[in-house]
Structure 1
Amino acid sequence: MDRLDSRCPLPGYARPSILICLLILTACLLTYPVLRTLSLQLLSVVTGSYVSSTYSIVFVNCPNEQIARDIARAILDKKLAASVNILPKASSLYYWNGEIEEATEVLLVGASF
């Protein structure tokens, strides 16, 4: 009986192992969104493919509005984005063949779900 008494906590005190379990459980619940995001990113890197369930915003410059609409419809048909916005008349400056070029383009903005 002496051995059993030495293992039991004092009356009114919770066992230390229960407190440790509660602290670990609380830490896991608080860090779940971060751990989930990191695990999805790791899976994406390992498999070399895009993993949905993460939020993404994509910006695409298109030469004209018709091409932007075609791309937007294809993206939405394949359910790769929740919405696509077409913003006309974006001015773009960029390097091309070692020189600065300027063009007027249509900006396509897509948001995934």
Structure 2
Amino acid sequence: MDRLRSWCPLPGCPRPAVLLCFLILAASFLVYPMLRTLSLQLHSAITGSYISGTHSIVFVNCPNEQIARDIARTILAKKLAASVNILPKTSSLFFWKGEIEEATEILLLIKTKTSKVLKLSSFIRPTVLLRQSSW
């Protein structure tokens, strides 16, 4: 017992075994999210099954096909999505200034990893707002 206490030179220092258990426990909590993600990816790769919550679909309306194509190409070039479908002539009904309006738009159906949705959103919002001024 004296040998264990000799590791800690300060008086009142916890025993090394308790300290070691605490460090292992703390490291487990810090590493758990990474290990969980890796194990889910490994399971998915081995079984070929889909894991809920790892992929998302994002819908974006565009005023015309040229803008839709430009946005789709840029998204793919930046590797923010695996695939983009362009669905032509979508009818949209919406409230605008207290009135029901109707417009024809082009719908982008963007397939991406859930982990990239925030980056994708951050890219699309300024792009769409910038282009809205020319609509």
Q: TM-score, normalised by structure 1?
A: 0.53
Q: Which amino acid aligns with 2:73?
A: R
Q: Report the counterpart of residue 86 of structure 1 in structure 2.
A: 86
Displacement of 1:105: 0.6
The correspondence of residues 68-79 of structure 1 with structure 2, limited to 5 A, is 68-79=68-79
Amino acid at match of 1:74: T
Higher Rg = 1
Task: Identify unmatched segments of 5+ residues in structure 1.
Answer: 1-31, 37-52
AA paired with 2:102? E
CA RMSD in angstroms comes to: 2.2
Distance 2:78 2:56 in 1: 16
Give the 4+ runs in structure 1 shifted more than 2 A: none
Q: Match of 1:80, SS?
A: coil
Partner of 1:14: none
Partner of residue 107, structure 1: 107
Amino acid at match of 1:58: V
Matched, 1:56 2:56: yes
The number of aligned residues is 65
**1:58 to partner: Cα distance:** 0.5
Instruction: Could you tell me which runs of 5 or more consecutive residues in structure 2 were left unpaired when the two chains were aligned.
Output: 1-35, 41-52, 114-135
DSSP 3-state at the match of 2:91? strand
State the match for 2:95 in structure 1. Answer: 95
Instruction: Show the 5 A alignment for 1:24-35.
Output: none
- Counterpart of 1:17 in structure 2 is none
Question: How far apart, in 2, do the equivalents of 1:108 and 1:59 lie?
Answer: 6
When normalised by structure 2's length, the TM-score is 0.44
What's the CA shift for 1:75? 0.5
Per-residue CA deviations over 1:40-97 (Å, capped at 9, x if unaligned) read: xxxxxxxxxxxxx931110011000000000001100110000000010100000111
- The amino acid of 2:79's aligned partner reads K
